[in-house]
Amino acid sequence: MRRLTVVLALVCSAFVSIAAPTPIHASSEISEPEQIARTQVVQTTGPDSSSLSWGLDRIDQRALPLSGSYSYIATGTGVKAYIVDSGIKADHVQLAGRVVNGWSYRSADQAQINTWRTTLGSCKTPSAESPAYNAADHPFDVDTFDYTSTPNDYGSPDNDGHGTHVAGIIGGTDTGVAKGVTLVPVRVLNSCGEGLTSMVLRGLQWILDDHQMGQPAVVNMSIGFDLSSTSIDTAIRSLLAEGVVVVAAAGNSSTTACNTTPAGTPGTISVGASASNDYEASYSNYGECVDLLAPGSSIKSTWHFNNASVNPYKTLTGTSMAAPHVAGIVARYLQGLTTTSTTVSEVATWLLSNTTQNAITFVHTSPPTGEAMTPNKLLAMVVPDAPSGVTAASQSRQLDVSWTAVAGITYVVTSSPGTATCSSSGASCSLAGLSNGVKYSVSVVGSNTFGNSRASVITATPDGVPEPTTSITNTAGSRTIAVAWTHPATDSPGLSFTATASPNGASCTTAERTCTISNVVNGLGYTVTVVATNAFGSSSVTASSVVIPDGEPEVPVSATSIVAKRFITLSWPAVTTSANVTYVVTSMPGNFTCTTTELFCTFDGLTYGINYTFAVTTRTATGQVTAAAITTAVRPGFTVKKTIVKKGS
């Protein structure tokens, strides 16, 4: 962890201090001598397309023996894996449909390619790395393929096979770790698996130009220089600063990885190789600059050309095979993420914290003086993948969250803002006590005995039929009821409330928490109900206790009379604005009085020829007395008009 801790600090510092990624310069601009980058393979065996790669089998469990299966959920869909190598056979049945156009040094102008050929030489010329040229190992003539400018070469086909093998480990349908990842060939090596510093620099610059800020991506560099390269280190730092994770093979020289590029480049995830018996591979580079080990010996994967069968497979050995196992796991981790400046640190922390500890038996037990031992960490993806298929159905003050459940995993769901949480070993649970109309970030994390998954996060807003109102209070007035109530502040905005008095159905509607009901009858007992309404419907009804409006009564609107010899019967229409009204009728002169709850009074013993004035007033059962009266003038008896009577008539 010592090297990685320092590396991540450097990455963060570089990101803060650099306004834009540092440009990567072509060969004419570099000051250091050209070095040759080579693939990290030391031996091969015959094709084998019949059984599961033991590497896949090993990384999904903690201990031997192997289970004979590889379990996964996430597939790396939506993540780009840049494969800095010899190209990819894009039409291989394991890879077809997921290889996109990349970059190739063959697209350079002919003058540049001639310069590179002069330095590298021909694959047909034996060298320490390529002692014997065999035309059958290459689908195309190597000199024509390597040294002819081909502007429309985007990284496919592959005339060496190494890049195709690496691509198959990362993302082959059957052979790969991340079976849905997008594969991007970046050809920096020729048909012998060799490339120059300037060729690699141009490939890394192309990645930096192609990558969009925030896009989840991983770079696999199963290549290595014999020494450190300052210019390559600088280029890798530019990629790290943009949030691109860089995975590098530790190298196959059985020496410290700290003195090489890219294995010793600060910020890369450097990978040593293990064998199927959990021994450190004898060829693997070692030391504190190796972050973890992964299966690298005798790994079956895709091959680059037809040799007695269609789309064959081949078994190769080396740290080149270990690194893509890690790159595939990184792609699975990044699925669904948007990268930021902290992604590289986050990935490294998560990856190393979930490795299997102390499973490796080391063969390099005596590192050079001052060099620490390789960390005893073996790649593992046995913690759950991030939950998939996460959705949230909105209810009133609640979110019903669901996901695709996997047996043996417990899921914990939390919301932000707030502290609402729920958990389940099934496929759903509900977050309650939320606020309607508030947008929540909902996080679902799966856990098992090995640890926690990365969170899957969605946003959702609870809403639904409103909650019922509470605590209704009524204030009685004359023919009015002032109603007030409380309602949860966590309910959705845009509510309306309707208060209704029963009997008679008088009501008021408002968006506030109070309103006044008019046109009720004084003296009559009312029950008031309040209902909240929004676009989803209405709440249940909340009722109050009985309230009785009261106030000064009105008087009848008119009065009529029936006149007889000595009495008068006076009648009037009922007062409807107050209940249980008593009518009081007085006369002038005479001070006759009639008090009744009926709608008439009869006054007897009146005097003929006298004009009487009758006043009708009212009072209620609670003693409220009207301040007004209605009057009418009446004269008892008969009115005799004077007339002329003729004699004899």
**Which candidate in 27, 57, 85, 345 is catalytic?**
85
Sign of dihedral through CA atoms 70, 75, 80, 86? positive
Q: How many CA atoms lie within 13 A of 276 on its CB side?
A: 15
Q: Kindly report, residue by residue over 620-646, the tens digit of the pLDDT.
A: 988 999 988 898 888 887 555 555 656
Distances from the Cα of 226 to the Cαs of 220, 256, 258, 646, in angstroms?
A: 18, 11, 11, 158
Q: How many CA atoms lie within 13 A of 385 on its CB side?
A: 29
The structure tokens listed for 560 are 């009529």
> Which residues of the chain are modeled with pLDDT < 50?
1-30, 38-47, 308
Q: Kindly report, residue by residue over 42-93, the tens digit of the pLDDT.
A: 323 323 556 788 999 999 999 999 988 888 888 999 999 999 999 999 999 8
Closest residue by Cα to residue 250 from 216, 275, 223 = 223
Angular region, 628: left φ>0, alpha ψ -120 to 50, beta rest: beta
Sign of dihedral through CA atoms 147, 150, 154, 160? negative
What is the SS3 assignment for 206-254? HHHHHCCCCCCEEEEECEECCCCCHHHHHHHHHHHHCCCEEEEECCCCC
Closest residue by Cα to residue 83 from 377, 328, 296 = 328
25 is catalytic: no
pLDDT at 563: 85
85 is catalytic: yes
User: In which element (H, E) is residue 424 found?
Assistant: strand 421-424
**Which candidate in 57, 92, 146, 162 is catalytic?**
162
pLDDT at 590: 82
pTM > 0.85: no
* C-alpha R_g of the chain: 46
**Which candidate in 27, 191, 222, 320 is catalytic?**
320
Contact indicator for 630, 556 with CB cutoff of 8 Å: yes
The structure tokens listed for 386 are 């991030």
Contact indicator for 102, 184 with CB cutoff of 8 Å: yes
pLDDT at 16: 22
